[in-house]
Amino acid sequence: MITAPTAVKKNESKTVQVSESQGMDFDRIGIAGASKGLAKVLDTARKVSRSDSSVLITGESGTGKELIARAIHKNSPRHDGPMVVINCGAIPSELLESELFGHEKGAFTGAHRSRIGRFEIADQGTIFLDEIGDMSPDLQVKLLRAIQERQFERVGGTVTIEVDIRVISATNKDLPAAIENKSFREDLYYRLNVIPIHILPLRERKEDILSLAEHFQNNLAKRVKGYQQKIFSQVTQQALLRYDWPGNIRELENLVERISVLVEEQTIELHDLPEYIANNSSQKISPSVASVLNNGIGFNEAVDHYQRSLMLHALNETGWVKARAADLLKMNRTTLVEKIKKMNIAPENETPFF
């Protein structure tokens, strides 16, 4: 068989792309970082990209869940098919069913014509169900059937439609806890979570911070004509490493872009950083209201952060004597102990970076 030159080229470019961390055939599609945590994620992503198994990606917002989902699709045999993204948290639940499965004309008020849904659009490709933890229980039942049987009906329709899709979902929620309080179906969870991938928050893989900052600078240089790459002074680097990054990589990316535009000098100095990063002398400081609002962190995560900061502060003040820390916080000792366990709070082993 004669292969068309374009097809040959495509295969070539696929094998030339070698992952830096594994030395294996995996296109990182611009995923930067060299931490062990990320290497593990990429290794799993590489393995699952060859299969059709459902993947559930968990992690705080801004950690790169969607980017990993894209890399899995890009490296899969389905890469010529579509990758369809749907944010289940952003669409009101009455509309979500028709977004997913489509509807027939007259199915509900305002359905003036029939419309195909994301499942049909994703045929031969991958569907990425983002914020899956926000889906209503009613729709969870329908989704389970669609995934299990790879078939469904449009809203108001009678014809069963079959699709060939790969499902990747993501959430920043604790789904086992949601199962416990009956807001998430256990059967759907097992269906989605065949291969789990957990992405660590940036504060738990600080080795990635500087290489990400450099990566975003490189991107700017590619995008903006004549852009001179800037360097971060030593103290600026230290402040970046000390900061907690509640908005994770999204926050770092926004920051790098902002200061790169605003700072005209070659070197980015400490005073060029926002107050809350420059003056953050310890990791225990929680995100400012501004950083919560600007980085899509969300109420619950911000509150978790604040609680964690308060407890860590009190524990450090009292040399980790829990009874005394509880006194300081005017809370019950057993409540404190429970929270420490639940939130996985541990004494920090300060690893120096320089």
Binding mask 46-85 for Mg ion (x = CB under 5 A): --------------------x-------------------
Nearer to ligand ADP, 35 or 54 (CB): 35
Token duo for residue 178 = 């949601």
Q: Which does 48 bind (CB under 5 to 8 A by kind): Mg ion, ligand ADP, none?
A: none
Q: Which does 230 bind (CB under 5 to 8 A by kind): ligand ADP, Mg ion, none?
A: none
Quote the CA–CA distance of 115 and 164 in Å, as a whole number.
19
- Nearest-approach distance from CB 340 to ligand ADP, in angstroms: 26
Q: ∠38-40-42 over CA atoms, to 5°?
A: 70
Other C-beta atoms lying within 10 Å of the C-beta of residue 330: 7
- Nearest-approach distance from CB 250 to Mg ion, in angstroms: 8
Q: Which does 247 bind (CB under 5 to 8 A by kind): ligand ADP, Mg ion, none?
A: none
Asked if 89 is part of the footprint of Mg ion (rule: CB under 5 A), the reply reads no
Quote the CA–CA distance of 55 and 71 in Å, as a whole number.
12
Q: Is the dihedral of CA 126, 127, 128, 133 positive or negative?
A: negative
* Contacting positions for ligand ADP (CB under 6 A): 30-33, 59, 61-67, 212, 215, 249-250, 253
Q: Which residues, other chains included, contact 291 with Cβ-Cβ below 8 Å and sequence gap of 6+?
A: 246, 247, 251, 274, 276, 297
Nearer to ligand ADP, 135 or 336 (CB): 135
Quote the CA–CA distance of 112 and 101 in Å, as a whole number.
16
- Nearest-approach distance from CB 45 to ligand ADP, in angstroms: 11
Nearer to ligand ADP, 44 or 63 (CB): 63
- Nearest-approach distance from CB 212 to Mg ion, in angstroms: 17
Q: Which does 167 bind (CB under 5 to 8 A by kind): Mg ion, ligand ADP, none?
A: none
- Nearest-approach distance from CB 32 to ligand ADP, in angstroms: 4
Q: Which does 76 bind (CB under 5 to 8 A by kind): ligand ADP, Mg ion, none?
A: none
Quote the CA–CA distance of 168 and 70 in Å, as a whole number.
10
Nearer to ligand ADP, 197 or 326 (CB): 197
- Nearest-approach distance from CB 313 to ligand ADP, in angstroms: 28
- Backbone phi and psi for residue 60, each to the nearest 5 degrees, phi listed first: -60, 165
Residue keyed to tokens 């894209």: 70
- Nearest-approach distance from CB 130 to Mg ion, in angstroms: 5
Cα 49 versus chain centre, distance: 18
Question: Residue 206: which of 30, 334, 34 has the closest Cα?
Answer: 34
Asked if 87 is part of the footprint of Mg ion (rule: CB under 5 A), the reply reads no
Nearer to ligand ADP, 98 or 237 (CB): 237
Quote the CA–CA distance of 161 and 154 in Å, as a whole number.
8
Q: Which residues, other chains included, contact 150 with Cβ-Cβ below 8 Å and sequence gap of 6+?
A: 162, 163, 164, 165
Q: Which does 102 bind (CB under 5 to 8 A by kind): Mg ion, ligand ADP, none?
A: none
Nearer to Mg ion, 43 or 66 (CB): 66
DSSP string, 133-158: GGS-HHHHHHHHHHHHHSEEE-BT--
- Nearest-approach distance from CB 51 to ligand ADP, in angstroms: 21
277 within 8 A of 243, measured Cβ to Cβ? yes
Residues of this chain that interact with Mg ion (CB under 5 A) are: 66
